[in-house]
Amino acid sequence: MGDSRRRFLKELSGLGAAAWAAPLLSGAGGAAAQTAEPGKKLGFALVGLGSLSGNQIAPALFQRTKLCRLAGLVSGHPDKAREWAKRYAVPEKNIYDYANFDQIRDNPDIDVVYVVLPNSMHAEYTIRAARAGKHVLCEKPMAVSVKECDEMIAACKAAGRQLAIGYRLHFEPNNLEMARLARERVLGAVKVIEASAGFRIGDPAQWRLNKALSGGGSLLDIGIYALQAARYIAGEEPTSVSAQVSITDPVKFKPGVDESVLFRLQFPGGAVANCSSSYATGLNRFWAGAEGGWFEVNPALNYTGIKGRLSGPQGPRDFGLPAVDHFAAEMDAFSDCILNERPTTVPGEEGRRDQRIMAAIYESAEKGSTIAL
């Protein structure tokens, strides 16, 4: 094992900052120089055929990934699954429902299970997939509690399978550039981070507003992007958090489901982050104020159209980076890691870090005081 590979693995075993550096080094979403079996594409099974799977993930797997393909479908709706199977040329034998899902262990077409279910089902299907001998890509938030995260990590470890969390912005060039500008202090040290993510939620009957399925409100679903951004711009782990939850529509937002959450993070290097999460209004900006200027992505988390810019001594300029399909890049990167037996840069441990901080955010809001992490 060469020095650079040893350093790489050492970095991966460290904190988020080091793990985050990896995609920058390896080239986000790019195919590996060499794979174990040249030309092999990993088979992905999608669990949960909702709008994210339908509008983003399945099309990406069908048309835009280089190292993986859509090979299986898991759904509680047989008609829907058959319809998708036709559209995406998935053999009928690779369709599962939630009852017979565990039989996926006997299906060699499936290498990776991508869990795209409501939050409270992430742990169960991640663990069942691992026990079926599959690698798992699990949508964010990883779970609804730190305890579940621990169980998921343990299950994948016991099965000798990789677990990655669907942090698509780790594979988005403008967001990567934000982390690089901060890490390399291109405009000096970052002092204040502002990260905001939100949208105005519609249908009150949707699972996102049902505590039993969502495990929380805007924070777990969308505010997690602001938390992620603050962490990868700061390049280190926060030492304390302070937060408040606000509810203006108590009919739509039942106990345990937040509408808006404002939270602050203190980082050991001195940077502070002011973050906003909301289901009441659109929020879509990650911004960093440094000693010699600022840089931002705005919009920051759209599936397409993300735009980065900076302003330093030479005045403002756009990042001018190419657009990528976040989901294709994310799935190719994970496939690359599996094919080449390298650890993913967005492991369960990364998901667990967010989960722990989000639990502290809710605790801080409840107590009205700062929580040390």
Distance CA 143, CA 118 (A): 9
DSSP letter for 180, please.
H
Provide the edge-to-edge strand list for the sheet that holds 272-278: 315-318, 308-312, 293-297, 283-290, 190-198, 272-278, 260-266, 240-246, 371-372
Closer of 86 and 200 to a second copy (Cβ): 200
Task: Tell me how far the alpha carbon of residue 295 is from its chain's centroid.
Answer: 22
Closer of 96 and 279 to a second copy (Cβ): 279
Q: Least CB distance from residue 242 to a second copy, whole Å?
A: 6
Distance CA 17, CA 187 (A): 19
Closer of 63 and 370 to a second copy (Cβ): 370
Closer of 135 and 285 to a second copy (Cβ): 285
DSSP letter for 105, please.
G
Judged by CB under 8 A, how many residues of this single chain contact a second copy?
35
**CA quadruple 3, 34, 153, 12: dihedral positive or negative?**
positive
Distance CA 51, CA 28 (A): 25
Distance CA 82, CA 87 (A): 9
Indicate which residue of 125, 140, 232, 279 is catalytic. Answer: 140
Token pair in block for residue 277: 């999460």
Task: Name residue 36's amino acid.
Answer: A
Decide: is 283 part of the binding site for a second copy (CB under 8 A): yes
Decide: is 314 part of the binding site for a second copy (CB under 8 A): no
Active site residue 252: no
Q: Least CB distance from residue 343 to a second copy, whole Å?
A: 33
Indicate which residue of 167, 225, 232, 279 is catalytic. Answer: 225
Residues 286-305 that bind a second copy (CB under 8 A): 289-294
Return the CA Rg of the chain: 20
Residues 220-279 that bind a second copy (CB under 8 A): 242, 244, 246, 248, 260, 262, 264, 266, 270, 272, 274-276, 278
Q: Least CB distance from residue 187 to a second copy, whole Å?
A: 9
Q: Least CB distance from residue 244 to a second copy, whole Å?
A: 6
Helix (H, G, I), strand (E, B) or coil at 111: coil
Decide: is 194 part of the binding site for a second copy (CB under 8 A): yes
- Please list, in sequence order, all residues whose beta carbon lies within 8 angstroms of the beta carbon of residue 82, skipping any fewer than 6 positions away: 92, 95
Q: Least CB distance from residue 246 to a second copy, whole Å?
A: 5
Q: Do residues 285 and 298 make contact, with C-beta atoms less than 8 angstroms apart? A: yes
Closer of 178 and 262 to a second copy (Cβ): 262
Distance CA 51, CA 74 (A): 14
What does the DSSP assignment read for 130-187? HHTT-EEEEESS--SSHHHHHHHHHHHHHHT--EEEE-GGGG-HHHHHHHHHHHTTBT
Task: Tell me how far the alpha carbon of residue 326 is from its chain's centroid.
Answer: 10
**Contact track, a second copy, 153-192, x by CB under 8 A:** ------------------------------------xxxx
Decide: is 348 part of the binding site for a second copy (CB under 8 A): no
Q: Least CB distance from residue 341 to a second copy, whole Å?
A: 42
**Contact track, a second copy, 56-95, x by CB under 8 A:** ----------------------------------------
Q: Least CB distance from residue 21 to a second copy, whole Å?
A: 23
Active site residue 167: no
Query: Active-site positions?
Result: 140, 225
**Contacts with a second copy, residue ranges (CB under 8 A):** 189-192, 194, 196, 198, 200, 242, 244, 246, 248, 260, 262, 264, 266, 270, 272, 274-276, 278, 280-283, 289-294, 368-370
